[in-house]
Amino acid sequence: MGALNIRGIRKSFGPVDILKGIDIEVEAGEFLILVGPSGCGKSTLLNMIAGLDTPTTGSIHIGDRDVTWLPSKDRDIAMVFQSYALYPNMSVAENIAFALEMRKVPKPERDAAVQRVAAMLQIGHLLDRKPGALSGGQRQRVAMGRALARDPKLFLFDEPLSNLDAKLRVEMRAEIKLLHQRTRTTTVYVTHDQVEAMTLGDRIAVMKDGLVQQFGTPDDIYSRPATRFVAEFIGSPAMNMITAQRGAAGVLSKGVELATNDAQRQALRSGGAELVYGLRPEDLVFADDGLPGTLTMIEPTGPETYLTAETAVGKLTARVPGNAHRRVGDRVHLRWAAEQAHLFDAAGGQRLA
Amino acid sequence: MNRLTIHRVLLWAVLLLFAAWFLTPMYVMVVTSLKDMAQVRDGSLLSLPTDPGLASWAKAWSGACTGTDCRGLQPYFINSLAMAIPAVAISTLIGSLNGYVLSKWKFRGSEFMFALLLFGVFMPMQVVLLPMSQILGWLGIASSLYGLILVHVVAGIPSTTLFFRNYYIGLPDELIKAAMLDGASFWQIFRRIVLPLSTPIMVVTLIWQFTNIWNDFLYGVVFSGADSKPITVGLNNLANTSSSVKEYNVDMAAALIAALPTLFVYIVAGKYFVRGLTAGAVKG
Amino acid sequence: MSAPSALRTPWLPKLVVAPSFIVSFCFIYGLIAWNGYLSLSASRLLPNYEFVGFEQYALLWESERFHVALSNMAIFGSLFIGGAMALGLLLAILLDQKIRAEGVLRTIYLYPMAISFIVTGTAWKWMLNPGLGLEHLMHQWGFESFVFDWLINPDKAIYCVAIAGVWQSAGFVMALFLAALRGIDDSIIKAAQVDGASLPRIYWRIIIPSLRPVFFSTLMVVSHLAIKSLDLVMALTAGGPGFATDLPATFMYAMAFSRGQIGLGAASATVMLAMVAAIVVPYLYSELRVKK
């Protein structure tokens, strides 16, 4: 029995189905990520776990308690909101202690909890301030402190880093990860940012249109994406997608034969004639022979350079470390290994090989 | 450059002209109230008193005749206070609770009910006068202060609810959600989080309600009895008594006495007064 | 959304608003219906629930006094509404020109709204007093032949009511328009200036058209003030001379409470309600529909 069990959750709003059947089991102490584009249902699912919304059918268990219809305060969970939702009229210390106050915890214990949390998050010097006098990063920490003080069975995060600027986001991401390593509380974290998903999660559920497209470790998701959507969603720059057809001897796209190995050709027989051939940018290398093309765009990022080339099969983006020492307009040749290709059915998007 | 200056001069002239027009009645009231009737007749509307005195004020307060009674405006002033203060407090409190529910705890049909309630802000009071007198009679509080207070409270609920509901909609929902997760109940959320954040709208509503209730005439004249007439009724009676000689200076002093409380509130908290007006008329 | 279902006691929010909603609905709709029934009854001095159909309305229609009240409503209404809206808009535009004393001027223009219509009526009654008021002042200033007896002139008295009404309410209109003017995006105006438009043109073609929503909501509030006005007339002219300055509101009061004609009073109140509803209901409907 996992720490959190989501079984058969469906949610409809009249004729519209927001969640079409979600099944996820989370182990104790695990950091689960719910990631997907806006409208995929991840926030709705999180609200149901929190008790702020109810499903049409299905159940949610925390430990072995069925909490599907329990009000929030009985579920022993804490949540960090996107806007932090700190109480503006109370000081930081009062904000952190509020939940304990609602549980009628006596004052000395409340104060001790506040001190403990403040030390952990290094916000001891902010305890008397009001939220209005804090910076974005400080508010984030106070929001986490408020959740920590409860010592709950489950942590929920609803896109907590979206309101921070890029640099701060990287810093806070690391803090959240460190915090999880220390407290080992089961966590569900919602985000639309795939970098956060990959760096923070123990396991990731990629969602689209109310369904989980793939549920696995970051490595699973990255190296063996289950659908075309997952493949394009995770990884930046996105995977190169080449429309192709299954030919007698292999895979053809606009007359060019694309490399395939036996296992792939075997798997292809079960799919349709139309397929999509995917290549990650880092799997493309520049060589003296291979697919010819002309460089149309060069984007240096510092540690790497992204190069886009116009080829017979379409635009392909490659990724090389360091400076590429090339110029727009150069004629290049691209090469890759067949094993590195990801093959998807063109119609349904599911992975073939 | 010259054209610009002429434009500005014209602008200022028009603005000042209107300012004078708006201020003139107030000036006339003050000036007339400080004269005795001889000065009133000898002088003119705008002339300063040659021998200013507060005799009219004293008379307006405690000696002027309002119909058969000649006790001045004092009893009416007290009536208005006794009526306005409870009515303002109760209608504001009810409005805040209603606004809290309508903005943060919406249920099926609540928006529709709110829309129905809104009509109450605009409907003409004439339409409830007759039935209301009957009801107050049945309740045994016709012609009394309690009847007046009840009417003002009930008539004020649509406006106060509107103010608070529109304001609370601006409070982030996540604040309520966080409090729920922290284990706070419906009332605890209201007391610990929503109310402390309500100060601006509370002030606006209190001022708006006080001004309207203090200045009301219609309910005052219909639903009050001999000892419960508010100051607007008293003033009207005083100024319209066709007995003997018209004492215009006393009339003006009386008018000023009636106007002072709301004017005072306006001068002290005018900013909030404006906010109240715009909140009421420009929805959303 | 914090749905009541998320509470341990989901019925609590509904219970909290129920009393005041029930009371308010009874007050608003219940009493309107009751009043409507009274208008269809034979009530005179006391309520009499004998149903007489539209007899009271027929009496109303035949009443010369009511016709005077209606025509006064039209005159007063258009002058009051038109005057308050125009003056308010003008003052708002003028004050928008970055005047240094804006705060003081705004306070001056708006203070009449803080005082009762009774006070306003009393003050203006004195100022327009035929013997000792404006006329006397003009005589003192040398205009010997100036006559201003509008207040006691049956044909002209209603204009006095309109003047006092505009005095009271123009500041309110100004406050609303000023707030709206302040809300207009500066960059649109700057773009127009760069395009070479002169200030009056900018006002005419860009700013005033964008005031349309505020214009309608203000118009609605001022119109409903006009229809309801009783206090002002009572204090200024008491409906006189005779009933030359009667308005539907004063007519209703007179009929119901001093003439012992409750049925007639109720009928006139219903007519007033219909007038207000004709303006307010479409407006409320369109406002709330936009929200959805």
Read off the CATH number of the domain in which C262 is found. 1.10.3720.10
Chain A positions touching B183 (Cβ under 8 A) are 73, 99, 102-103
| pLDDT on residue A259 | 85
List pLDDT tens digits, range A262-315.
Answer: 888 888 887 778 889 999 999 999 998 889 999 999 999 989 999 999 999 999
- Interface with C, mutate which of B77, B126, B171, B249 (most C CBs under 10 A): B126
Q: How many whole angstroms separate alpha carbon C88 and alpha carbon C82?
A: 10
Nearest to C259 by CA among C59, C5, C20: C59
* C8: nearest CA partner in chain A: A71
Q: Does A78 touch chain B (CB under 8 A)?
A: yes
What is the pLDDT confidence band of residue B281, given thresholds at 50, 70 and 90? very low
| pLDDT on residue A130 | 92
Q: How many whole angstroms separate alpha carbon B81 and alpha carbon B84?
A: 5
C17 domain residue, yes or no: no
Is the predicted pLDDT of residue A340 greater than 50, yes or no?
yes
Q: Does B46 touch chain C (CB under 8 A)?
A: yes
Interface of B with A in 165-194 (CB under 8 A): 172, 174-175, 177-184, 188, 192-193
Which fold would CATH assign to domain B74-281? Answer: MetI-like fold (1.10.3720)
- What are the CA-CA distances from residue B12 to residues C77, C85, C86, C290 (Å)? 30, 21, 18, 40
Query: Average per-residue pLDDT in chain A?
Result: 90
Q: How many whole angstroms separate alpha carbon A251 and alpha carbon A239?
A: 18
Residue with tokens 């309109």: C162
CB contact under 8 A, B254 and C122: yes
Q: How many whole angstroms separate alpha carbon C271 and alpha carbon C227?
A: 11
Q: How many whole angstroms separate alpha carbon B137 and alpha carbon B142?
A: 5
- Interface with A, mutate which of C2, C8, C11 (most A CBs under 10 A): C8
- Interface with A, mutate which of C5, C7, C12 (most A CBs under 10 A): C5
Is the predicted pLDDT of residue B152 greater than 60, yes or no?
yes
Of A77, A88, A89, the CB nearest to B181: A77
How close is the nearest chain C Cα to the Cα of A103, in Å? 15
* A47: nearest CA partner in chain C: C1
| pLDDT on residue C250 | 87
Q: Which chains touch B (3 or more CB pairs under 8 A)?
A: A, C
Q: How many whole angstroms separate alpha carbon C244 and alpha carbon C152?
A: 9
- Could you tell me the residue ranges of all domains in chain A? 4-230, 238-345
- Residue scoring higher pLDDT (C205 or A329): A329
How close is the nearest chain B Cα to the Cα of C254, in Å? 11
Q: Which CATH superfamily does the domain covering A4-230 fall into?
A: P-loop containing nucleotide triphosphate hydrolases (3.40.50.300)
- What are the CA-CA distances from residue B40 to residues A236, B28, B248 (Å)? 89, 11, 8
Is the predicted pLDDT of residue A178 greater than 70, yes or no?
yes
Q: Are B100 and B191 within 8 A, CB to CB? A: no
C119 domain residue, yes or no: yes
- Could you tell me the residue ranges of all domains in chain B? 2-53, 74-281
- Interface with B, mutate which of C119, C132, C141 (most B CBs under 10 A): C119
Q: How many whole angstroms separate alpha carbon A95 and alpha carbon A87?
A: 6
| pLDDT on residue B284 | 33
**Amino acid, res. A106:** P
Is the predicted pLDDT of residue A325 greater than 80, yes or no?
yes
Of C31, C136, C252, the CB nearest to B44: C136
Query: What is the helix (H) or strand (E) element at residue C128, kind and residue range?
Result: none
Q: How many whole angstroms separate alpha carbon B235 and alpha carbon B215?
A: 11
Count of C-beta atoms within a 10 Å radius of residue C15:
11
Query: Average per-residue pLDDT in chain B?
Result: 86
Nearest to C148 by CA among C134, C158, C159, C162: C134
CB contact under 8 A, B284 and C287: yes
Residues present in chain B in total: 284
How close is the nearest chain A Cα to the Cα of B158, in Å? 28
List pLDDT tens digits, range C8-66.
Answer: 777 888 899 999 899 999 888 989 888 888 888 887 777 777 888 888 888 888 888 88
C8 domain residue, yes or no: no
**Least confidently predicted of A243-257, B234-248, C50-64, C153-167:** B234-248
Contacts (Cβ under 8 Å, ≥6 apart) of C7: A71, B105, B180, B185, B186, C13
Is the predicted pLDDT of residue B88 greater than 90, yes or no?
yes
Chain A positions touching B175 (Cβ under 8 A) are 85, 87
Strand pairing partners for B169? none
| pLDDT on residue C5 | 65
Of B25, B104, B263, the CB nearest to C2: B104
Q: pTM of the entire structure?
A: 0.84
DSSP C256: I
Encoded tokens for B127: 């339409």
Q: 3-state SS string over A72-92?
A: HHHCCEEEECCCCCCCCCCCH
Nearest to A95 by CA among A108, A85, A104: A85
| pLDDT on residue C131 | 76
Give the pLDDT mean for A331-353. 89
What is the pLDDT confidence band of residue B1, given thresholds at 50, 70 and 90? very low
SS3 content of chain A, % helix, strand, coil (to 5): 30, 35, 35
* C130: nearest CA partner in chain B: B45
**Amino acid, res. A329:** G
List pLDDT tens digits, range A128-172.
Answer: 999 999 988 899 899 999 998 988 889 999 999 988 888 889 988
Query: What is the helix (H) or strand (E) element at residue A9, kind and residue range?
Result: strand A4-13
CB contact under 8 A, B131 and C133: no
Q: Which CATH superfamily does the domain covering A238-345 fall into?
A: Nucleic acid-binding proteins (2.40.50.140)
C214 domain residue, yes or no: yes
| pLDDT on residue B277 | 64
What is the pLDDT confidence band of residue B77, given thresholds at 50, 70 and 90? very high
C11 domain residue, yes or no: no
| pLDDT on residue B83 | 94
Q: Concatenated DSSP letters for C136-166?
A: HHHHHTT-TT----GGG-TTTHHHHHHHHHH
Is the predicted pLDDT of residue B282 greater than 80, yes or no?
no
How close is the nearest chain A Cα to the Cα of C1, in Å? 8
Distance of CA B225 to the CA centre of its chain: 21
Q: Are B87 and B145 within 8 A, CB to CB? A: no
What is the pLDDT confidence band of residue B283, given thresholds at 50, 70 and 90? very low
Share of chain B above pLDDT 90, in %: 35
Of A79, A86, A102, the CB nearest to B183: A102
Q: How many whole angstroms separate alpha carbon C235 and alpha carbon C247?
A: 13
Encoded tokens for B76: 């009416």
Q: Up-side HSE of residue C101: CA atoms within 13 Å toward CB?
A: 10
Encoded tokens for A231: 């493949």
CB contact under 8 A, C167 and B235: no
Q: Domain containing C104: what range?
A: 60-291
List pLDDT tens digits, range A1-22.
Answer: 468 999 999 999 888 889 999 9
C258 domain residue, yes or no: yes
Residue B109, classed as helix, strand or coil, is: coil
Chain A positions touching B188 (Cβ under 8 A) are 102
Q: Are A29 and A185 within 8 A, CB to CB? A: yes
Number of domains in chain C: 1
* pLDDT-flagged residues of chain C (< 50): 1, 292
Q: How many whole angstroms separate alpha carbon A204 and alpha carbon A220?
A: 9
How close is the nearest chain B Cα to the Cα of C55, in Å? 18
Nearest to C47 by CA among C284, C290, C269, C256: C256
